[in-house]
Amino acid sequence: MDRWLLIASTLLALIGGVWGMTSVHRGRRSRWTVLWMALAFVLQTGFLTLRGEARAACPLADHGEILAYLAWSLTLFYLLIGPAYRISLLGVFTAPVVFLFQAIALAPGMLDATPLKVPGGNPWHETHTATSVLAYGALALAAVAGVMFLVLDHQLKEHHLKSGLFRNLPPARELLVSLNRLLRLGSILLTLGIIAGFMMPRSPSATGHLVAALIVWAGYAMLLWIQSTRGLTGRRISLLAIALFLLSLGVFAFV
């Protein structure tokens, strides 16, 4: 049952992305993308709830659950940020990322077919893992906003001022404001996760994840420090937000 919920939400994310891109290609705003993503979010929540009941813990015990939780977090922050700041096209860029994460989660061997209860659960460990992955949702959305800014910058430089994509992209200032807020929010959540990590009893594998989280946190802290003290152009902060997110995924992939 839980797998079918994830499959359905993955298909909704795919529909949302394709529908949005089609609308943009025709020169219209994708007003339905929010609905598709909201429905996907409901199904994602149902999937994580069932897996959490089976695990008797936060459902982050295998790679598939981590990716599904990350996709849920990314969708959550999109639904909070996109409509609130009227960045309607953000969903068109977010939906393919959600689809990709969940498609990988559904690949053979990623999800335990029969999830077992997690033995010896610790609240600090739960807080560390859940908050860290939640932070990644905000940082992933910051990277998506960075991609949108780079696309807008490219459109301006190529003088594609009449294309449907250019007309529907939000102003550069709104994108950069959202990107900076998402970077700060993600960094705060990651800080909370690291604090919880220091409080939990650590095994060798948990220590490796905590060190990886510290490396990622240091990278984002340096980016925000440079931005606040010296300032960065929109293009540079967008490139750095994308690069840091991709590098941080690589760090955790090898821990």
DSSP characters over 148-203:
HHHHHHHHHHTT-TTSHHHHHSPPHHHHHHHHHHHHHHHHHHHHHHHHHHHHS---
Query: Minimal CA–CA distance to 156: which of 174, 173, 133, 172?
Result: 172
Over residues 168-194, mean pLDDT? 86
Query: Minimal CA–CA distance to 141: which of 226, 68, 212, 70?
Result: 70
pLDDT for res 211: 79
pLDDT at 183 over 90: yes
Could you give the CA distance from residue 183 to residue 19 in angstroms, rounded to a whole number?
28
Could you give the CA distance from residue 138 to residue 144 in angstroms, rounded to a whole number?
10
pLDDT for res 192: 92
pLDDT at 252 over 90: no
Find tokens 């969940």 and name the residue.
102
Distance in Å from the first CA to the final CA of the chain: 31
pLDDT at 88 over 70: no
Could you give the CA distance from residue 245 to residue 216 in angstroms, rounded to a whole number?
9
pLDDT for res 161: 58
What is the residue-averaged pLDDT of the chain? 83
pLDDT at 142 over 90: yes
Over residues 137-144, mean pLDDT? 92
Higher-confidence residue: 235 or 166?
A: 235
Q: Under the phi-then-psi rule, with left for phi > 0, alpha for psi from -120 to 50, and beta for the rest, what region is 130?
A: alpha
Residue-range domain boundaries for the chain: 1-118, 122-255
What are 16's two structure tokens? 């949302």
Q: What is the DSSP letter of 116?
A: P
pLDDT at 164 over 90: no
Higher-confidence residue: 242 or 165?
A: 242
How far is C-alpha 176 from the geometric centre of its chain's CA atoms? 17
